[in-house]
Amino acid sequence: MKTQLELARDGVITEAMKEAAVYDDVTPEFIREGIAKGQIVIYGNPNRKARVIGIGKGLKTKVNASIGTSPDIIDVEMEVKKAQTAEKYGADTLMELSTGGDLIKIRKRVLDSISLTVGTVPLYQAAIETNKKTGSVVHMEADFLFDVIEQQAEEGIGFMAIHCGINLITLERLKRQGYRYGGLVSRGGSFLTAWMNHNKKENPLYEQIDRLIDIMKKHDVILSLGNGLRAGAVHDSTDRAQIQELIINSEIAEYAQSRGVQIIVEGPGHIPIDEIEANVLIQKRLSNNAPFYMLGPITTDIAPGYDHISSAIGAALSSRYGADFICYVTPPEHLALPGPDDVREGVMAARIAAHVGDMVKLKDKAKNLDLKMGIARRDLDWKTQYETALTKERAQEIRNSRPPMDEDTCTMCGSLCSLKGVMKYYEEDLNKSRKKSAANAAF
């Protein structure tokens, strides 16, 4: 069976490509061509039916929501609710990242509960099961890790974050720069770093890259090249270790694509706003414009409890400069495991950020909704305002909780509504504007 990438290179437009085209309001040929160039990826694993969206150049910035148990909180029903909440509020994909409980059963429950494409970090399962049996991650067998990757591919996982770019060269850079202010915050990155240092061996995911690619190709799983040495503090951003990992990941990306495997390259986590553009440009240049998955980015380290806002600032800029895929951050980041309400807040913050970036990246195509909202507000057309809003449920909830005396206003201004106060003087001009808007919409 050929992968979506191989079919795209053969000039074939698949049903999955057509579905992705509808989602982004582009032509199927646009999707096919982007996949063929390695600049767009779509779900292709035949082992599970999932909603197909495109991630990459020329498309709307997509949002991923991550869920999962921890060793401290193992509540499967809550994880299912979190997954369903993410889908309800508009996440484009979901990552199931459980680290506590029966990982296989939890993953199956989540996969069965939603239609989204689901991603994982297979190293978590391999490391955690090894730790249970031997007492330490450092005793993990390479064969077992690859067995877990194969197993998850067979379950229908759509994309896997796999830390191939951490190799002995990368760790040498980390050592020579004097480690880091914020330490290592990627779980997968820390597992592999400990394993390599203890065993004095090369990363098996790098050393046996063909074995990995064979599995990805067999099941048409998107290889998301993990950013295991991403910064966990803004003062560690864009350091030599991070850039070395990006260089290795970009080399692997090119090789995997030559073998017919779709790839994504992941990006840094904590980063000040003046380095975001440079990070996007470097990633795009090194990887031949491969889809860029930006984790966060969190733009300041001193806002615990509000990291979803700090991240939304970074995500908007990332999207504006060309990042294709962002991972949401929830309010409890750095503090606790998120619950369903936190998932909702994280998804909405990330969706707003993605749209803000797309308004620049995709220009009028993304701005049309804002134009529609502006006109609806001018006309005090509340029905259209709700229909147009990304946050329609929350908007209605707030206004209904504080109802105005005049139903066409809100309690912010009431009878002193600035819009109503001058509307009668511009009725003729408004009618001209409305006719012009209607003509443009029809065109």
Collapse the DSSP code of 370 into the 3-class scheme (helix H, G, I; strand E, B; otherwise coil) and give the result. Answer: helix
Collapse the DSSP code of 118 into the 3-class scheme (helix H, G, I; strand E, B; otherwise coil) and give the result. Answer: strand
pLDDT of residue 443: 54
Taking only the tens place, the pLDDT of each residue in 54-73 is 999 999 999 999 999 999 99
The amino acid sitting at 399 is R
pLDDT of residue 423: 86
- Which of 41-45, 121-125, 193-197, 415-419 shows the lowest mean pLDDT across its residues? 415-419
Taking only the tens place, the pLDDT of each residue in 236-272 is 999 999 999 999 999 999 999 999 999 999 999 999 9
pLDDT of residue 166: 97
Phi-psi region of 320 (alpha: psi -120 to 50; beta: other; left: phi over 0): alpha
Half-sphere exposure of 120 (CA within 13 A, CB side): 27
pLDDT of residue 441: 64
Given a cut of 90, whether residue 430 has pLDDT beyond it is no
Given a cut of 80, whether residue 353 has pLDDT beyond it is yes
Query: Could you give the percent of the chain with pLDDT greater than 90?
Result: 93
Taking only the tens place, the pLDDT of each residue in 369-378 is 999 999 999 9
- Which of 38-42, 102-106, 208-212, 420-424 shows the lowest mean pLDDT across its residues? 420-424
pTM of the model: 0.96
Taking only the tens place, the pLDDT of each residue in 391-422 is 999 999 999 999 999 999 999 999 999 998 89
Tokens of 423: 């509307």
pLDDT of residue 276: 98
Tokens of 250: 């970009």
pLDDT of residue 96: 98
Cβ neighbour number for residue 407 with a 10 Å cutoff: 9
pLDDT of residue 325: 98
Pairing of strands 222-225, 159-162: parallel
Taking only the tens place, the pLDDT of each residue in 76-120 is 999 999 999 999 999 999 999 999 999 999 999 999 999 999 999
67 to each of 27, 127, 157, 255, how far by Cα in Å? 33, 18, 15, 31
The amino acid sitting at 385 is Q
Q: How far apart are CA 145 and CA 149, in angstroms?
A: 6
